[in-house]
Amino acid sequence: MKSRVLYLFLCFCSTIMIFIVSCTWYSSTGVFSSGKDTYTVVVSGRGKPRPVYLQRIAYQEANVFCQRKGMVFQPVVTKEVPASHEVDPSFELQFRALCPDDPDYLKPDLKPLSDLEHYIEIEKTEQ
């Protein structure tokens, strides 16, 4: 009897999970050209997907697109539309496909700050 109840419970839980997954789905425009070496991808979702999920899909599509061309992508503009009663959530990523040795492909020059310099910068911004 316990195994039958457990079986029914597991069937019920899996049915609920399938319903939840089917209520939240996304669609993508795919990568399309929007200028010289500039591309755009728009991902939109139904239901209540988290914005981070839509961002991740857009960045993955852009990365795969550029890797297939032997290039790297540099984000240019992002636009997030939150979910509301009338509008499904969406995320738009505009990016450039650049060669890794392209001078326009800027890598940040990170320089560590000492604790004292960091403290002084915080003090200046608070004043």
**Tens digit of pLDDT for each residue in 6-30?**
666 665 556 665 555 545 577 788 8
- Cβ count within 10 A of residue 114: 8
Strand partners, 96: 38, 74
The answer to the question of residue 86 being in a domain is yes
Question: Residue 28 is encoded by which pair of tokens?
Answer: 């993508």
Cα-Cα-Cα-Cα torsion 50, 53, 55, 60, nearest 10 degrees, comes to -170
pLDDT in tens, 75-111: 888 888 887 777 788 889 999 998 888 877 766 555 5
Helix (H, G, I), strand (E, B) or coil at 5: helix
Structural element, H or E, at residue 54: helix 51-68
The answer to the question of residue 120 being in a domain is no
The answer to the question of residue 50 being in a domain is yes
**Owning domain of residue 58:** 25-101
